[in-house]
A = this chain, B = another copy of it.
Amino acid sequence: MKISARNVIKGTVVSVDKGATTAHVKIEISPGQVITSSITNEAVDSLKLVVGGQAYAVVKASDVMIAVD
């Protein structure tokens, strides 16, 4: 499957923290650079996400803001 989302960044799952319904998953995309994702517990199970596995962080361009110092 190929998706319209412009940002698909490869990394390694470094943590999976399931809550009551919502999970937080962290992906290390380069040494020391971690992306945090909030997804459903159901998706964690469906994708069989585990620490150490390869995964992609996927973000739609319209959900990316820009900041400057």
Q: Write the residues of chain A forming the contact surface with B, with a CB cutoff of 8 angstroms.
A: 1-9, 17-25, 27, 29-30, 33, 35-40, 42-44, 46-49, 53-69
Contacts and interface: CB of A to CB of B under 8 A. Distances in A.
A47 to B, nearest CB: 5
A58 B65 contact: yes
A47 B59 contact: no
B1 A68 contact: yes
A35 B64 contact: yes
A58 to B, nearest CB: 4
A27 B65 CA distance: 11
A50 to B, nearest CB: 10
28 contacts: A1-B3, A1-B69, A2-B46, A3-B66, A4-B37, A4-B40, A6-B43, A7-B35, A17-B21, A18-B21, A20-B22, A21-B23, A22-B38, A30-B30, A30-B33, A38-B40, A38-B62, A39-B65, A39-B66, A47-B66, A47-B67, A47-B68, A54-B69, A55-B66, A57-B66, A58-B64, A59-B65, A60-B63
